[in-house]
Amino acid sequence: MGNTLPRVAWIGLGIMGSPMAENLLRAGYRVTGHTLEPGKLARLAAAGGVPAASVAEAVREADVVITMVPASPEVEAVAYGPEGILRHARPGALLIDMSSITPSTSVELARAAAERGLRVLDAPVSGGEAGAVEGTLSVMVGGGKDDFDAAAPLLGVLGRTVVHCGPHGAGQTVKAANQLIVAVNLQACAEAVVFLEKSGVDLAAALTVLNGGLAGSAVLTRKKDGFLTRDFRPGFRVDLHHKDLGIVTEAARAVGAAVPAGALVAQLVASLRAQGDGGLDHSALLRAVERLSGTEVRP
């Protein structure tokens, strides 16, 4: 089966990228990867992938190039640099950027890549580290429909919900909306936790019954145990959600959409980050609510 599948170059093997690349390897894809962390290259090799010393080396023979890096500057660096994708990928290759970046960056990348004979999809994801490991991510895709159809089998290995959302940049716009919803939901959950605890209610029982009704959500399902134990090991870091909320407010301003709740949570996330919690999971918004409520914050 592996000989009939496209050759994949994977750029960016972080918390999300490593398990996603490994899922492709398990599905029979040949994956050559590059990242700045040597330990992650060793992990890729152990899973059956081929480490590459540079972006250029990784993409040279690839049919599909996937990028999964933190933000727009990193996407631009791996795409446009002298050792970058646009200079070294073969004409006709499909570049799938799965990072979360500004819609305008995705549109410009697609334009520049087309001049080099490359096809592009923006395909950011939602579901966090657990979704990456389990292959159950939601993948929101912008770009040409034919390119989406060609990529759909590969994307189906990485996600359970894979949807073509429109032209270039549409995937990133939907991802921005996703991050808005997740942030507001996390803040509401954090406020509810503090409210319940200060009221003397059994928190575990309360969260269980709340999650069984209209207040239930994927956010509460994923983060409930962390709220109970104050386990904020990063599945998705505060730093990254801070970046994403900047994308939300910028993109909303550009189209004239009011996002008052999003703007408030963006400030709360920025405050949490300024207090030294940027490396924690974004569910650590609970710590910010505890501080505002005069509750002792656990180390």
Whether 224 is catalytic: no
User: Cα torsion for 219, 105, 5, 158, to the nearest 10°?
Assistant: 0
In the numeric block, which tokens belong to residue 202? 């059994």
- The backbone region for 276, taken as left when phi is positive above 0, alpha when psi lies in -120 to 50, beta otherwise, is left
Determine which helix (DSSP H) or strand (DSSP E) holds 74, and give its type and residue range.
helix 72-80
Which three-class secondary structure state does DSSP give residue 148?
helix
Q: Rg for the chain (alpha carbons), in Å?
A: 20
Out of 40, 145, 175, 243, the active site residue is 175
Query: Sign of the C-alpha dihedral, residues 147, 153, 157, 163?
Result: positive
Single-letter amino acid, residue 89? A
Please state at what angle helix 170-198 crosses helix 203-211, rounded to 10 degrees.
140
Active site residues: 175
